[in-house]
Amino acid sequence: MKAAVIHEYKQPLRIEEVASPAPAPDEVIVEVEACGVCHSDLHLAEGDWPQLSRMIKKPLIPGHEVVGRVVEKGDAVNNLDVGDRVGIAWVHWTCGECEFCREGNENLCPNQTITGATVDGGYAQFIKAKASHALKVPEALNSAEAAPLFCAGVTVYRAIKKADIRPGQRVAVFGIGGLGHLALQIAKVFEAEVTAVDIHEDKLEFARALGADRTFNAATSDVAKEFRRLGGAHAAVVTSGSKAAYDTAFYSVRSGGSLVVVGMPSENLSFPAIMMREIKISSSATGTRDDLSRVLELAAEGKIRCHIETRPLEEINDILDQMRRGEITGRVVLTISAPRP
């Protein structure tokens, strides 16, 4: 089968022929129709997440926002049939037995395997998945629109849910890219008053079209001062991978508010303890299958919609270069196999 493969960090991905996967008894083989390109894929290709580098397989087929059709299944699979359209997320498999899994936090399972990181992902014509963790995609969604919900969508949904937002509260979304434009829409579902922050005017214009109540350009205004004038944000959700965004967001949150870490800079984050003001700092480690089911419901109901651009697999290195330059609005989705009727 054709796949895009990471052989060495900081080198272009190679488009090459590799062996097609075969299913274990509890697995399915999915013919990939669409796979979102996540900023995490760029981090993996660059090798700039040292905390994960020891776990990453090489050579590696990346990609963890995958939608396609089941074409083969193992003998023990009874929840899926050949022909079902399913999605595969970052969390490839969890044990179901550890303390975190029993508490309903399977996304924190220490035994988990990770799609497109510890096992091969969806930048390929076929992918192998655990049947227990492949979720059916609602018919109301096409494959390309659904794919980014399996990481970008579920991650920001969990972030906003954890911030415990109540109607009318002020939410700041820093970075209006693939994650941020979905975070904005989900915050509106929670009936928040949403401010979008970015350094690109075209992305702020996009945010206004999505329903942002106000926008701030961090390149031309003192964002923290603007938020202080408003009384501060009840929650700041940072989807940017820029450390500077976190520095600004910290001072934009009101006392007792929440700063939610979603985008992951390669540098460590630090905040002055004397200025904590009872600010709660938390992170979102993607989400659970329950979270993902809710995100798919919201999208099927038309309450959120991922802005996508589809590109062929062969353009993956150009896409990653655009991502490095911050030129992508919304989400790029690789189209690999033609969707079946």
> Within a domain: residue 341?
no
* 203-217 residue pLDDT tens: 999 999 999 999 999
Q: Which domain holds residue 216?
A: 155-283
The per-residue pLDDT for 55 is: 82
Do 159 and 130 share a structural domain? no
* 55 vs 83, higher pLDDT: 83
| pLDDT at residue 326 in the model | 82
pLDDT at 101: 97
Shared domain for 160 and 273, answered yes or no, is yes
User: Region 93-97: what's the mean pLDDT?
Assistant: 97
- Residue 340 lies inside a defined structural domain of this protein: no
Shared-domain flag, residues 220 and 129: no
pLDDT of residue 338: 61
Whichever domain contains 232, its CATH number is 3.40.50.720
70 in the same domain as 209: no
pLDDT score for 241: 83
Whether 142 is covered by a domain: the verdict is yes
Asked whether the predicted pLDDT for residue 328 surpasses 90, the reply is no
Q: Are residues 294 and 331 in the same domain?
A: yes
pLDDT tier for residue 340 given thresholds of 50, 70 and 90: low
Query: What's residue 194's pLDDT?
Result: 98
Share of residues in the chain with pLDDT > 70 (%): 98
72 within some domain: yes
Residue 230 lies in a domain: yes
Task: Please say which residue of 248, 263, 283 terminates a domain.
Answer: 283
Average pLDDT over residues 297-310: 96
Six token digits for residue 55: 């776990």
CB 152 within 8 A of CB 331: yes
At 274 the pLDDT is 67
Mean pLDDT of 231-257: 94
Q: Are residues 103 and 202 in the same domain?
A: no
In terms of domains, do 128 and 167 share one?
no
What's the structural domain count of the chain? 2
Preceding peptide of 59 cis, ω within 30°: yes
Contacts of 212 (CB under 8 A, 6+ apart): 173, 184, 194, 195, 196, 204
Residue 211 maps to a domain: yes
Give pLDDT tens digits for 249-271. 999 999 999 999 998 877 788 88
- How far is Cα 49 from Cα 56, in angstroms, rounded to an integer? 10
For the record, the structure tokens of 300 come out as 């099927």
**Inside any domain, residue 28:** yes
The answer to whether residue 257 is domain-embedded is yes
DSSP for 183-226, written as a single string: HHHHHHHTT-EEEEEES-HHHHHHHHHTT-SEEEETTTS-HHHH
Let me know whether 131 and 210 are in one domain. no
339: confidence class by pLDDT, cuts 50, 70, 90: low
4: pLDDT strictly greater than 90: yes
Q: Kindly give, in sequence order, each residue whose CB lies less than 8 Å from that of residue 66, ignoring residues fewer than 6 positions away.
A: 30, 32, 34, 35, 87, 88, 89, 115, 121, 122, 127, 129, 147, 150
Task: Tell me the backbone φ, ψ of residue 215, rounded to 5 degrees.
Answer: -135, 150
pLDDT confidence bin for 22, thresholds 50/70/90:
very high
211 with 295, same domain?
Answer: no
Same domain, 190 and 274: yes
CATH number at residue 84: 3.90.180.10
- Whether 258 and 296 map to the same domain: the answer is no
Average pLDDT over residues 292-306: 97
Tell me what percent of the residues of the chain surpass a pLDDT of 90.
Answer: 84
The model's pLDDT over 53-72, given as tens digits with 9 standing for 90+, comes to 778 999 999 999 999 999 99
Q: Are residues 42 and 169 in the same domain?
A: no
Task: Give per-residue pLDDT as tens, 128-180.
Answer: 999 999 999 999 999 999 999 999 999 999 999 989 999 999 999 999 999 99
